[in-house]
Amino acid sequence: MDVSIRMISAASTVFWILLVGFFASAVYSVKDLHLSLGEPRLSLTTDGHAIISIPINIENMGYYNLGSFNIATKVADLNGAKITEGSTSVPIVERGSKITVLHNLTFSTSVLSESCIHYLFNDSSFMVTAKISLKLAETIPVQALSNFTVPWGAPFYNFQLGQPTIEPVNFTHLEITVPISFENHAPIDINGEISLYMYNSEAILVGRGESKIAAPQGNLYTGSILLYVQSSEILEKGAFEVYFSTQFMSYGPLVIPYDFGG
Amino acid sequence: MTLEDKNARSLTKRFVFNALKALVKSFVFYMLYLFVLSFFVQFEGYVPGLRQTLESFVIVYISLGVFRDIVSDTFFQYFFDVAKALFVICYLILALNGGIVNLTYMDVALTVDLRLFLMAAILLSLLGLARAILQAINCANKKVELTFSYEF
């Protein structure tokens, strides 16, 4: 019996040393694990989707491989309504390796224009929920969860139609020039077209015009749209309907009333 | 020198030897603790109360070890062995919150799943518990054998 007890003692001691040594070195390895985010890139697909690709650099200089690395993000508006979500997985990050993976978030432009009108014209922020999960030494599951807000600059911030100027073209038609202005606060350049439809107070289409726009990010855009209208149809009051068409979204109409009498 | 004096002297010698053994073992264990702690010390900011938790474990564990060594060569040492094994099991379950450790650091909620580690540690503690019980049985067995051999 003495021998068997001694064997149990020895085995127990050896396994304790192995267990504590493995656990301590696995936890200690965390200090040599570095995660960093690269510069996000925006790309557009032919089917009308905008993809934001965020490069994630993973540097594992610890003693063990990392298993089941996964990063999942969910972007929501300030009311908590989901806009998009994405997930990126790496089965194994070998020890001593440095890899870069692209975390893609796909935005449907229709979703943007339907539920996020606020974001087209107002600076705001998005709620981002990020969850990173991995297995230290391929055995110890660790999960980190964080909520943060990301500031958003509106592409058509402070969009305004200026005071229209009316010039007679002939006895029957008028030329109306409508100044437009906005500031592009978005992180991308805006290229596209703005169409303007003019309706009188009887909801009759009086005239229409469009203008190409090119607004570099962070800049104020000013321009104008010309409309030719029949002088008999124009009334004191009515409304402009503005349609926006850019490389990543289409939106309209934005109804802005006018009052030539006032 | 009478037989009683000799016995008293031998008991004192044994006590001093056991106490010295306990002191050396405690010192070695404490050095081991400091060595392991040096790995974890940089995580103190992330895990509130890490040092206190580890220190309270070490104090109780060393105390049980000292008592066990002082009463070694008696039947009571096995009680302390069992107490040590049970203490490790209970402590690990309580300190590791059943294996799921939740931490918060700078708005980041961290969840570490240590159930596998906990299971392995509990199994090893149970092995230690079984060893202590086996040793107790073995000791009792030997005493009975000795009594029988004296009687015969």
Contact A86, A105 (CB under 8 A): yes
Tell me the nearest-neighbour CA distance from A255 into chain B, angstroms: 42
Query: At A252, is the secondary structure helix, strand, or coil?
Result: strand
Residue of B nearest to A29 (CA): B39
Res. A247 pLDDT band, cuts 50 70 90: confident
Confidence of residue A115 (pLDDT cuts 50, 70, 90): low
Tell me what the pLDDT averaged over chain A comes to: 86
pLDDT in tens, A195-229: 999 998 888 888 889 999 998 988 999 999 998 88
Q: What is the pTM of this model?
A: 0.71
Query: Looking at per-residue confidence, does A133 or A114 come out higher?
Result: A133
Q: What pLDDT is attached to residue A110? A: 63
Q: How far apart are CA A186 and CA A153, in angstroms?
A: 4
Query: What was the pLDDT predicted at A53?
Result: 86
Q: Given its phi and psi angles, is residue A214 left (phi above 0), alpha (psi -120 to 50 degrees) or beta?
A: beta
Mutate to test the interface with B, among A13, A140, A147, A148 (most CBs of B within 10 A): A140
Which has more confidence, A9 or A113? Answer: A9
Token pair recorded at residue A60? 């594992």
Mean pLDDT of chain B: 85
Q: Given this model, what pLDDT does residue A109 score?
A: 63
Q: Is the ipTM of this complex over 0.95?
A: no
- Phi and psi for B142 in degrees, rounded to 5? -65, -40
d(CA A160, CA A178): 10
pLDDT computed for residue A112 by the predictor = 58
Q: Which residues are paired to A223 by β-bridges?
A: A180
In chain B, what are the domain boundaries?
1-73, 74-152
User: What are the angstrom distances between the C-alpha of A116 and each of A77, A255, B4?
Assistant: 8, 17, 96
Query: Taking the CA atoms of chain B, what radius of gyration do you get in angstroms?
Result: 21
Of residues A261 and B146, which shows the higher confidence score?
B146
Give the pLDDT score at B151. 67
Taking an 8 Å cut-off on Cβ atoms, the answer to whether B109 and A2 are in contact is no
The most confident of A25-29, A49-53, A157-161, B13-17, by mean pLDDT = A157-161
List the single residue in B39, B112, B120 with the smallest CB-CB distance to A28.
B39
What does the pLDDT look like over B25-56, one tens digit per residue?
889 988 988 887 887 777 777 777 888 888 89
Domain boundaries along the sequence of chain A? 32-152, 157-259
Name the band, by pLDDT with cuts 50, 70 and 90, for residue B150: low
**Residue A28 to residue B116, Cβ atoms within 8 A:** no
* φ/ψ of residue A131, rounded to 5: -125, 120
Residue recorded with tokens 């070490």: B58
Q: What mean pLDDT do residues B12-16 have? A: 83
Q: Do B134 and A146 touch (CB under 8 A)?
A: no
pLDDT of res. A113: 57
A42 contacts chain B (CB < 8 A) = no
Q: For A32-152, give the CATH class.
A: mainly beta
Q: Which two tokens stand for residue A73?
A: 């993000």
pLDDT(A262) > 80: no
Q: Which residues pair with A215 in a beta bridge?
A: A190
Does residue A116 register a pLDDT over 90?
no
- Asked if A9 and B131 touch (Cβ cutoff 8 Å), the reply is yes
Among B55, B52, B81, B85, CA closest to B68: B81
Look at residues B34, B25, B94 and name the one whose alpha carbon lies nearest to residue B62: B25
Record the tokens describing residue A150, joined without a space.
Answer: 């990301």
Q: State which amino acid sits at residue B99.
A: G
Is the pLDDT at A48 greater than 70? The verdict is no
Judge whether A245 and A230 are in contact, CB under 8 Å: no
CB A241 within 8 A of CB A197: yes
DSSP 3-state assignment of B72? coil
Judged against a pLDDT cut of 70, whether residue A70 lies above it is answered with yes
CA distance B87 to B89: 5
Other beta carbons within 10 angstroms of residue A249's beta carbon come to 22
Of residues A89 and A37, which shows the higher confidence score? A89
Q: Is the pLDDT of residue B123 over 90?
A: yes
- Measured between CB atoms, which of B43, B108, B116 is closest to A144? B108
Residues of B in contact with A146 (CB under 8 A): 107-109
A23/B108 Cβ within 8 A: no
Confidence band, pLDDT 50/70/90 cuts, at residue B6: confident
Domain A157-259: homologous superfamily in CATH? Immunoglobulins (2.60.40.10)
8 Å CB contact between B120 and B127: no
Least confident stretch, A98-107, A113-122, B15-24, B79-88: A113-122
Q: What is the distance of C-alpha B81 from the center of its chain?
A: 7
Note the pLDDT of residue A154. Answer: 86
Candidate from A1, A141, A148 with C-beta closest to B113: A141
Q: Which of B111, B126, B133, B138 to mutate to test the interface with A (most CBs of A within 10 A)?
A: B111
